[in-house]
Amino acid sequence: MISPDSETVVLRPSILGTPVDCPVRWCRSTRARRVSIRIDPRAGEVVVTLPMREPRRAGMALLTTHAAWVMQRLAALAPPVEFIPGAEVMLGGTPHVIRHDTSARGGAFMDGASIVVSGQPEFLARRVKDFMRAEAKRRIIVLAEGHAATLGVKIRAFRMKDTRSRWGSCAPDGTLAFSWRLVMTPDWVLDYVVAHEVAHLRELNHSPRFWAHVESLTPNREAAQDWLRDNGPALLRVG
C-alpha cells in the first residue's frame, strides 16, 4: 500500500437529496483487482481502495452509486469517545469515568467506578490508553493460561494490538495477539475471544474439532459473537 490521502467529498443520497459532506480516504493498492469501498469506524470515514492503474474517477463513480449506503453507514456510527476528564469508558462491560487528579501518583489506575489519571493534562489520553492496554493484557493472560491448561497446550507469547477488523489471532508459532479494546467488553465476551484463540493452538483452522474445543472452554460462543457484531464497531470509536 502507498500512503493514503483524505478529503471531503460532497455526496447526494438521491437525485433530489440534500448534498452532504463525506470524509473519504483514498488508498491505492498493488493487491487490489477492483475498486472497493468500506467504512472505517475508527476514523469515521469511507475508504476507497483503487488498483494502481485505476483512475480516481472510478472510485468517485462507485461512491456516487452507493452514496445512500455510505451516508447511512456513517450516520449509524457511534459517537467518538475521547480520553478526556469526565468521559465515560467501559471496563469489563461496566462504565468507568475518567478522573484527572494532579495530586495522584502512579500514572492511571482504577478507583471504584473511576479511572484516575495523575500528571499533567497533556499526558492524560496516553496514560489512559496505556492503562487500558496493560489491563487488557493482565485479564487476557489469566484467562488464556487457564484455557491453555485445560487443553494441554502451550502459549509462546502474548501481543496487544489495535487492529481494525480482528479481535484476536493465533500465529503458527503459538503467539497469541489480541486487540486491547477487548478490555471494554463484558467478561464473558472477552472469555470467548480468548478461548477461541487458545483453541487454535490445538486446531489452526475452523473445523468441527476446533469448534468442539471452543465450546469445551466457554458456553458463550453464540452470544459473544452476537455482542461483538452489534457492539464491536463502537469500541473502535473510543480513544
| Structural domains of the chain, with CATH | 5-75 (no CATH), 88-235 (3.30.2010.10)
Asked if 190 contacts 138 with a C-beta cutoff of 8 angstroms, the reply is no
CA neighbor of 90 nearest in space, from 185, 163, 231 = 185
Answer whether residue 1 shows pLDDT above 50: no
Q: What is the pLDDT of residues 158-176, one digit of tens each?
A: 999 998 889 999 999 999 9
Say what the pLDDT of residue 128 is.
98
What pLDDT band is residue 27 in, cutting at 50, 70 and 90?
Answer: very high
Q: Under 8 Å CB-to-CB from 221, ≥6 apart: which residues?
A: 192, 211, 214, 215
Q: What is the pLDDT of residues 170-205, one digit of tens each?
A: 999 999 999 999 999 999 999 999 999 999 999 999
Say what the pLDDT of residue 20 is.
87
What mean pLDDT is predicted for residues 72-95? 94
Global pTM value: 0.83
Answer whether residue 4 shows pLDDT above 60: no
